[in-house]
A and B are shown apart, each in its own frame.
Chain A
Amino acid sequence: MLNNLPFIVVVILMALGLYALLFKRNLIKIVMGIHVLGSGVDLFLIELGYRTGGIAPIFTMAPRLEMVLPTPQALTLTSIVINLAVVALMLSFIILIYQHYGSIDSKKRRLKG
């Protein structure tokens, strides 16, 4: 049960993200939903590579060979950077939309998630 805890957190994060995406009208909350969803996926990747009691995967002078997997960490790093770019871009769209219409409520305009 305790071992599965991170995966339960992943599921909760993704459910929260999806909920925000589908049911929130505020554009900023939609972006938050996407970011929470992204964090859920990132946590999932990190959790995949974790080994109980593992050390950082550096072979030089390694005290023991029980290591966490390096690949998912590399993937997560990339995905965090990409998520950051996506969120920054979407927030800048929101600023421009707000300047244009004076509202960030998706219900008032024809756009929807």
Chain B
Amino acid sequence: MILLEHVPLLLIAIPLLTAFATPVLGKVNSFLRNFWIITALISTELMGIWLGHDVLKNGIRVYTLGAKLPGLTSPVGFPIRIILEVDAMNAFIAMIVISIALISFIYCMRFMEWSRNLDKFYTLLLLLLTGMMGLTLTGDFFNMFVFFEIVSISSAGLIAFYVHRGEALEAAFKYMVISSIGALMVLFAVGLLYAQYNLLNMAAIADSIQNSFVDKVVVALLLSAFLLKAGSVPVHMWKPDVYGEAPVPVVVLLITSSLVSLFILFRITFTVFGLIIDTALLGWILAVLGILSIFLGVTMALIQSNLKRLIGYSAIAEIGYVLLGLGSGLIGFPSLSEFGVKAISGGIFHIMNDALDLSLLFLVVGTIIHITGKRDMNQLGGLARHQPSLALLFLIGMSAISGLPPFNGFASKLMIYESVYRFNPFLTIVGVLGSIVMLAIFVKVFVVTFLGIPRRKDIKEVPESMLAMMGILALFIIVIGLFPNLFVDNLITPACQALIHPEKYVEAVL
């Protein structure tokens, strides 16, 4: 198949080209523009699923721009080329990214229709998607830096979309300062790696790496840069501000981008440096950071009354669960016990569930803000009487995020708890407590917002397309919750195997 060969590149190229076609088409007609964006995204989605299917069946797919064979350009050593490498893990993350992006774009069509700057808005949103796809699929370090910056710049522009609000500008400035420091750390680390090995390709570096002191510095730099972007504990301060101020569809994509940077973090720690660094130490660091994130996220969420900030803090806690699972798996790497594998697959599973649960909650809150114009939950009340479907969707989202049994959050959290318990019972206890407190917080939010006497009369109707998108997310949450084994066996286990067998990743390129 000639087209399938080019799918990894097309996944990045289609959003990029659509982004720059959007302002031109917007000049013609706004319907044409929306139609064009949705068509492009649906075709990207289909291609992503096709690629994922192919990778699961036929193994790792490498796409090279430039000379196909390493020997063609340089007689000695490994040449510098742009390589996209897709294994089961990349394909899995790519599918999540595109699906969430598609849902958030369709939601946007009605949510943002009042705005006059939609051309620019969609351009930036598509550039953000391009950056995330690039981060997911890239196989070399320098492109990783470039896509990292594309994500930072476009999302900073989007966070400041409500320019008439001073807080939005401040949040955007804060985000930009933090992510450009992160990006400079990445660039410096790339420079250090290039100085030692004359290589930029991840697989080739993983092959020739030695455990020098400089490598440790590189690991520390990359780790802090991607934790900055993911927003785990010591560097979480941008998250509630940004999530509180950005438009809701943007927040959904930002959540996805922080999960993508977590994925890059694990790609680096497992695949590139996994075999040489002190994984036990690194694993403990990540697991403890995860625990601290859970603790801080839920305690700070407890005292918020702004709905978006509240969910922003619970997003920090959710990042903590992923770090907890994958961090405790990393402790035993590379000689993994059964529990180690289970902890890692639980963490990967939780990446997907996080994206779904948090997106659903944010979209519901966005709808509440859309129909009432209020974002403080103390000014709301009795919404269930007007909008029973919205209340049901929120109920599904909150049960899933706090890990109640029939929903997806339960399936992945149980996997994490079971396996982490074998490493250290204390970690599990904090995790379970975090879940319980989170449930309490969301029950409070539900009661205050949806039950009681209606406070306001001027409530608008919910547009159907927005309701449909939230419905699709809720459907996924329930299906995954009811049949977790289906997803674990077919998607998560291959992704986990791809992550814990770096030698295959290396072999595919060399």
Contact with B along A91-113 (1 / 0, CB 8 A): 00110110011000000011111
Measured between alpha carbons, how far is A13 from B187 in the docked complex, in Å? 15
Minimum CB–CB distance from B73 to chain A (whole Å) comes to: 12
CB distance from A28 to the nearest CB of B (A): 11
A34 in the interface (beta carbon within 8 A):
yes
B residues less than 8 Å from A96 (CB atoms): 160, 163, 169
A30-B177 contact, Cβ under 8 Å, with A37-B184, A38-B184, A86-B153: yes
Do the beta carbons of A97 and B177 come within 8 Å of each other? no
User: Once the chains bind, are B200 and A37 in contact (CB under 8 Å)?
Assistant: no
Contacts of A82 in B (CB 8 A): 146, 149, 153, 183
Quick check: B191 and A86 within 8 Å, CB to CB? no
Task: Say whether B188 contacts A44, CB under 8 Å.
Answer: yes
Contact call B170/A111, Cβ cutoff below 8 A = yes
* Interface residues as binary, B190-211 with A (CB distance below 8 Å gives 1, 0 otherwise): 1100110000100000000000
Q: Is the CB of B188 within 8 A of A41?
A: yes
Interface 0/1 of A22-63, CB less than 8 Å to B: 000001001000100110010011001000000000000000
Q: How far is the CA of A21 from the CA of B87 in the complex (A)?
A: 39
Query: A residues within 8 A CB of B174?
Result: 111-113
By CB atoms of chain A within 10 A, which of B172, B191, B241 has the most? Answer: B191
Residues B184 and A41 in contact, CB atoms below 8 Å apart = yes
Interface contact A111-B146, CB-CB below 8 Å = no
Q: Are A48 and B194 in contact (CB under 8 A)?
A: yes
**B149 — nearest CB in chain A belongs to which residue?**
A82
User: Which residues of A sit under 8 angstroms from B336, Cβ to Cβ?
Assistant: none
Taken together as a complex, chains A and B put the C-alpha atoms of A34 and B185 apart, in Å, by: 11
- A12: interface (CB < 8 Å): no
Provide the B367-398 mask, 1 if CB < 8 A to any CB of A, else 0.
00000000000000000000000000000000
Q: Cβ of A111: which chain B residues have Cβ within 8 Å of it?
A: 170-171, 173-174, 241
A contact residues, range: 20 to 34
Q: Could you tell me which residues of chain B, from 149 to 178, have a CB within 8 Å of some CB in chain A?
A: 149, 152-153, 156-157, 160, 163, 166, 169-174, 176-178
- Residues B194 and A71 in contact, CB atoms below 8 Å apart: yes
* Cβ–Cβ contact A86 & B180, under 8 A: yes
Dominant secondary structure at the A interface: helix
Q: Is residue A6 contacting chain B, with contact meaning CB distance below 8 A?
A: no
Most chain-B CB neighbours within 10 Å: which of A30, A89, A93, A97?
A: A93
Q: With a CB–CB cut-off of 8 A, which chain B residues contact A45?
A: 187, 191, 194
A33–B157 alpha-carbon span in the complex (Å): 21
Chain A's closest residue to B164 (CB) is: A100
Cα distance A45–B191 when bound, in Å?
6
CB <8 Å contact, A109 and B170? yes
Q: Which residue of B lies closest to A113 (CB)?
A: B177
> Are A48 and B173 in contact (CB-based, < 8 A)?
no
Task: Give the chain A neighbours of B188 by CB distance below 8 A.
Answer: 41, 44
Residue on A with the closest CB to B148?
Answer: A82
Within 8 A of B (CB), among A63-92: 71-72, 75, 78-79, 82, 85-86, 89-90
Set of chain A residues within 8 Å of B178, measured between Cβ atoms: 113
**A34 to B149 alpha-carbon distance, docked (Å):** 14
Nearest residue in B to A69 (C-beta to C-beta)? B198
* Bound: A90/B176 CA distance, A: 7
B410: interface (CB < 8 Å): no
User: Closest CB-CB distance, A32 to chain B, in whole Å?
Assistant: 12
- Can you list 26 A-B pairs, Cβ within 8 angstroms, ordered by A? A21-B181, A34-B181, A37-B184, A38-B180, A41-B184, A41-B188, A45-B191, A45-B194, A48-B191, A71-B80, A75-B187, A79-B187, A82-B146, A82-B153, A82-B183, A85-B153, A86-B176, A89-B153, A89-B157, A89-B176, A93-B156, A96-B163, A96-B169, A97-B166, A111-B174, A112-B174
List A residues at the B interface (Cβ < 8 Å): 21, 27, 30, 34, 37-38, 41, 44-45, 48, 71-72, 75, 78-79, 82, 85-86, 89-90, 93-94, 96-97, 100-101, 109-113
